[in-house]
Structure formats: C-alpha cells, structure tokens
Chains A and B, each alone.
Chain A
C-alpha cells in the first residue's frame, strides 16, 4: 500500500449547491472525485452518497447512484470509435432509451457547446477544447443531481470558459449540485462560491 493521498477529510455537498474544489496539481482533486464516483474505494473512512454508505451498496444500487451523477474527466474519456453525437448520447443509451426520444436534446446540447458542425466527428480528430466540450455535454445530458467536473475549462479559451461556467450555474439553478475541480483562479473569480481547498492531502473549506 502506498502513501495516503487524502487524510482527515470531512466535508459534505448540499443538494443544489455550487462549489469549487481547488488546490495545487497533485493535491488529490482527481482522487477525491473518483472516490465520490465510487471508481475508487477508500482504504479507510466513510463515503456517504445520497444518504447511504457506499461501502454497503450492492451493484444495482451503485449503478442507480452513478446514473444520478454526471462527470467530466480531466482526460475526457470519450470512446474513440464513437462519433461525438454517440458519445454525448451514451448516458441516455445505457438507460435503454430509444434513440428517437433523445435525438433532438443531444443535438441541441451539442450545438449549445459549439459542436453542432462536429457531431459526426470521432474524438481522435478533435482538438483538446472540442473534446472537453463534448465531455461536458455528455455529463450534462442526463441532467444529473450531482455534477463533478475535473478541470472542465482547462482546454478552452476564456470566452468559452465563461459560457461553460454560466451553463454550470444554470444547471445548479435547475437543481443540480455542482463541484468544479480547478486551479484556474480567474474562473473562480468570475463567480463567487465556496472553495474546498486541498493542500497536501488535507482539506479546508474556504467560504
């Protein structure tokens, strides 16, 4: 077992809240997000999600919880052999929905994030910014209760960064709790919100 990445961390995310998760590179932001996503199991400690201890969840409940969350990965994690349209529609497709039932919604979202003309393209031919926008669209498409975004504006120009931030805020006003992991101070200054600051594996809340 390696060194502990996160220790003595205690925090909660209220429904419909908006917060930043910040700290220097390597502080453990991505690890924290993976813990919340149940992609990692804590070596010790307790993770409660939607009022339940995740260590006691069976596979079906776990899948149900993941469907209530949206995630934007720092490295995008798009499926390379699928088009942008198919990538963005993926969370709805895995729910077993008919393609015709979500087509308009997916296309509208793709156009909103500026990828309307690129919906045929597959990720390997896209720029970093385009992949990032596609990853964001995929996280938003199922209108999650909790959105976790890892450096969502890291590869886009400031103008689009501001638009995306407005989108996250709009999402929060519609009832989604939003956690944005970033170390972009300029972005955090655009909209004032509580900051969960991670330094050397320890966390403090900067309200």
Chain B
C-alpha cells in the first residue's frame, strides 16, 4: 500500500489493508455456468475459425489457379504415323504466333514432356518408341478477353492431330468449387455465430434469474438499468474473450500443424498433386487475421447479446 493510501485511510493511524479487494465484478465471473459457457464459446469459435481458415485457403488456392492457369493454353499434337511431327509443331507455332491475343509460344522439348510422365511410368524407361504427344505452351496477354475459337478451328483444319486445350473450362469448374467452399465456410461461420449468440442469450437469462436479488439490491442502492446492463455485459465480454481466445488459438495451432504436416509430406508425388490442386497449405496473414476476427466477433456478440438480454429483462421487471 502506498503512503498516500495510508494517509487517506482514516484518522486513527491504521493503514488501509494492502490486500483489500476493490471493485470486483458485481456479477460473479467464475461460476460453473460461466465456465460451461466459456467452453461452449471456445468450441464454437474453434469450429468457426476452422471454417473461416478453410474458406481463406480455398480463396487463395482459386486465386493461384486463376493467375497461373487462366493465362495459359496448351496445344497438344498427338503422334500420327502419316504426319511429320516436327513440321506440325513448326506450323502450329507459326499459326499461334499470328494470333493477336497470344503473347508467347513455347514448344515443350521432348525431354521435358517425357519427364512429365515419370511419376506415372517411372524413371529409366526409353520413351522413344512410345507415341507420346508433344506440347506447345501458349501464354495469353493479360487483360485480353481472347476469342480463340477461330484459332482452334483453324488449327484443327490445318493439323487434324492437334487439339487446343483451353484451360478456362477447368478453371471455371475449379472456381465454382472454390466459391462453394468459400460460401459454405461463410455459412458455417454465420451459423456458429448465431449459435454463440443464442448460447449467450440463454446464459444471460439464467444469470439474471440467479442474480435477481442482487439486481434488486443494485436498483435500491441507486443503480440504473444501464449500469446493471454494463456489469453483465462486462462479465459476458470477458467470458466471450476468454472462450474466443482459447478457440481461436486452438484453430491457429491446428491450421499451423496441418501446414507443417503438409510441408513434411511435400516430397511425395501425391502431395505434389494435392499441392498443384490446392496450392501450398498456408492460409497466410489474411487467414490468421480472419481467425482472430472470428474470435473478436464472438466476444463482441457475447457482449451485445448479453446487454440486449439484460435490458429486456430489466424492462420486464419494471
């Protein structure tokens, strides 16, 4: 205790006890019901944060597909014993180079395209005798809406064994899938927030019913409804913050662990394919911010709902 406090404490020379409890919450915080509510909020926040994390992961992956694939097309020329492959390749490159919306054209060397088959056929095979198609990778100019159907038709006409592989359909399907995952994640977050709000509303009503005598005493010593509502709100915001922090931290740990496991398994071919589909298993800063936001929103909802419930209850008492 400070000297000033001792002077303030009274006139009989006795100091104010240093361990005197002051301004404790008027609504007790640490009760069985309070801990149960905190556990419910923690679990709901964990689920909502995981859903938000999954939505962010899908959004990032779909962004990667769109960036990497949407600007790229492939011409595939299948081997035909009646045709000269090298001549067809040169012809296709020349045709592609003449299209305005195409930026670059690159013939994938045979060794490189053979390498693409290695994960499936294994190494050490001589693929010379196999009828392996040859690939030409075309990069499109960005911000150009390419109308390539005429080019595709001309290509088929000139070189019947060539196919223009437009990735846009694939990208569209993946985008639809990603959007579905994002929307589902958002819907789960909304449902969980609603469930959290309902849990807090019921818990507040229970706490009010249990504190009816205290509420009457507070009224009679001059507390107004706003003061009492603030006391309950403080209690539930604290519970919401604790529950939200525990749930959010749990979700961050799980996401980080999954990312770590995914990176450790990254060497396997299956993992490479998965990574090609979903991108690296990282939600990035935006994902972690989303998880923290979910936890903060849960705490905010706990405070708002409890305040509303208490005001409603007090109006009914009046």
Whether A79 contacts B9 by the Cβ 8 Å rule is no
Which residues from A are CB-within-8-Å of B24? 81-83, 86
Known: A77-B213, A82-B26. Contact between A119 and B222, CB under 8 A? no
CA distance A39 to B10 in the complex (A): 35
A37 at the interface (CB under 8 A from B): yes
A91 at the interface (CB under 8 A from B): yes
Whether A66 contacts B23 by the Cβ 8 Å rule is no
Whether A100 contacts B227 by the Cβ 8 Å rule is no
Whether A99 contacts B22 by the Cβ 8 Å rule is yes
Chain B residues with a Cβ closer than 8 Å to the other chain, count:
31
Q: List B residues 206-221 near A (Cβ within 8 Å).
A: 213-214, 216-221
Whether B8 contacts A104 by the Cβ 8 Å rule is yes
Whether A37 contacts B220 by the Cβ 8 Å rule is yes
A85 at the interface (CB under 8 A from B): yes
| Chain A: CB-nearest residue to B12 | A111
Known: A79-B26, A103-B16. Contact between A94 and B5, CB under 8 A? no
Which residues from B are CB-within-8-Å of A91? 221-222
CA distance A177 to B229 in the complex (A): 32
Whether B23 contacts A86 by the Cβ 8 Å rule is yes
A59 at the interface (CB under 8 A from B): yes
CA distance A100 to B16 in the complex (A): 12
Whether A66 contacts B222 by the Cβ 8 Å rule is yes
Whether B11 contacts A108 by the Cβ 8 Å rule is yes
CA distance A120 to B22 in the complex (A): 10
Q: List A residues 93-137 near B (Cβ within 8 Å).
A: 93-96, 99-100, 103-104, 107-108, 111, 116, 119-120
Which residues from A are CB-within-8-Å of B22? 85-86, 89, 99, 103
B14 at the interface (CB under 8 A from A): yes
Q: List A residues 67-99 near B (Cβ within 8 Å).
A: 67, 71, 77-79, 81-83, 85-86, 89-91, 93-96, 99
Whether B223 contacts A107 by the Cβ 8 Å rule is no
Whether A120 contacts B222 by the Cβ 8 Å rule is no
Which residues from A are CB-within-8-Å of B219? 39, 63, 66
Whether B220 contacts A71 by the Cβ 8 Å rule is yes
Q: Which positions in B face A, CB cutoff 8 Å?
A: 5, 8-12, 14, 16-17, 19-24, 26, 28, 213-214, 216-225, 227, 318
Q: Which 7 A-B pairs have the closest CB atoms?
A: A67-B222, A94-B223, A63-B224, A104-B8, A91-B221, A81-B28, A108-B10
Q: List 15 A-B contacts (CB under 8 A).
A: A39-B219, A39-B220, A63-B222, A66-B219, A71-B221, A81-B24, A85-B21, A90-B221, A93-B23, A94-B218, A95-B222, A99-B22, A103-B22, A104-B8, A111-B10
Q: Which positions in A face B, CB cutoff 8 Å?
A: 37, 39, 59-60, 63, 66-67, 71, 77-79, 81-83, 85-86, 89-91, 93-96, 99-100, 103-104, 107-108, 111, 116, 119-120, 138, 142
